[in-house]
Structure 1
């Protein structure tokens, strides 16, 4: 019995020495498999796998960019009662939004319209949508491609910031949000989402003031109070 076992081991070693692949090796019995039956160990199809991971991770990049947008720009503009007209404050906020949006040509945005609870629901939904369209039109006037913007069907009175049945300016608003990537843009086609998220503003390199560390006396100007007309 022992002699038989040793003989079997000897035969196995001999076969291994002849170049037969061990069981479990990816090329084991490769010539006996059907075409395409070779098990993928990760080397084959990595490009497809990488693209899939990028697409799967797109939502996270959109979320990250949304957080950045909300932290760096006012996303909400408010309206007068029963109005879709932009006052100077609302226009200023939208100009700031447009400046931010121009730095990210790969990104798309949605504008949602809201109202307070005064009036019937149908009218308020229509009014909210008009507010959203007004905001989108203003962003377009600031040089943003309309294809990157979407005025959404209004939430009307259904999502108040302040719960009240009366007039409330904070509820009469539009909210601009990052909605995704512009799929036809070359950067997005290359899957470079992270580069978009972490891109700096053009103005980020500008100093906050041109006179850092410079006093009036550096220019030969005497500092002091009074004496002016």
Structure 2
């Protein structure tokens, strides 16, 4: 009978927590954390790049616009809400908004239009409580970087892209621990304590 005690204890230990720390942080590829740390330490990768890749993976980083317009339609606003929610979780991080247009119209006009589109995104983020000081710069590429090579109207080219640009008050002369703090904060936050066991009873210690 005693030989079953360790098994019972293990079963209860597993049942005592809905989710262990780190469960939500691991993307499923064992060794990624070590690889990232190694690349960051030897200069092959930087902190902003790692967060930027994560941002683009977890939320839609691009929105599109109607022809000759900087107005945010409902689809664009829904995507920006997702962006804003993500940005709000990382107060250490700064972002840059890039504006683009299609090829219809003059280059000078399209550069201004791209800028207005970027400004519209910044204004929306501000309405969601994000400080403008974290939106490091507004950049307009106008018609110079199309996704689709065409001289005609194309909605896919009329867009803004939000990207991670760095950290607030970054000191380039010292080891930047901000990304490590972010990872640690999320690691701890990913642990969800059990509030009830099956049947609604609370976990109790064995007597």
- TM-score in terms of structure 1 length: 0.59
Give the length in aligned residue pairs.
152
Change (3 A) 1:145 1:77: same
User: Secondary structure in 2 aligned to 1:137?
Assistant: helix
Contact 2:118–2:140 (CA under 8 A) maintained in structure 1:
yes
Q: Which residue of 2 aligns with 1:3?
A: none
Contact 1:110–1:179 (CA under 8 A) maintained in structure 2:
yes
Change (3 A) 1:201 1:184: same
Q: Which residue of 1 aligns with 2:128?
A: 142
Higher RCO, 1 vs 2 (CA within 8 Å, ≥6 residues apart): 2
Alignment partner of 1:101 is 2:87: yes
2 CA distance for matches of 1:67 and 1:168? 26
Greater percentage in strand: 2
1:194-205 mapped onto 2 (5 Å cutoff)? 194-197=180-183, 199-200=185-186
CA RMSD of aligned residues (A): 3.0
1:22-33 mapped onto 2 (5 Å cutoff)? none
User: Secondary structure in 1 aligned to 2:60?
Assistant: coil
Q: CA deviation at 1:150?
A: 3.4
Q: Which residue of 2 aligns with 1:36?
A: none
Change (3 A) 1:201 1:129: farther
Contact 2:48–2:166 (CA under 8 A) maintained in structure 1:
yes
1:28-47 mapped onto 2 (5 Å cutoff)? none
Q: Which residue of 2 aligns with 1:164?
A: 150
Q: Which runs of 5+ in 1 are unaligned?
A: 1-53, 207-229
Which of 1 and 2 has greater Rg? 1
1:113-152 mapped onto 2 (5 Å cutoff)? 113-152=99-138
2 CA distance for matches of 1:203 and 1:90? 30
1 CA distance for matches of 2:64 and 2:184? 30
Change (3 A) 1:58 1:118: same
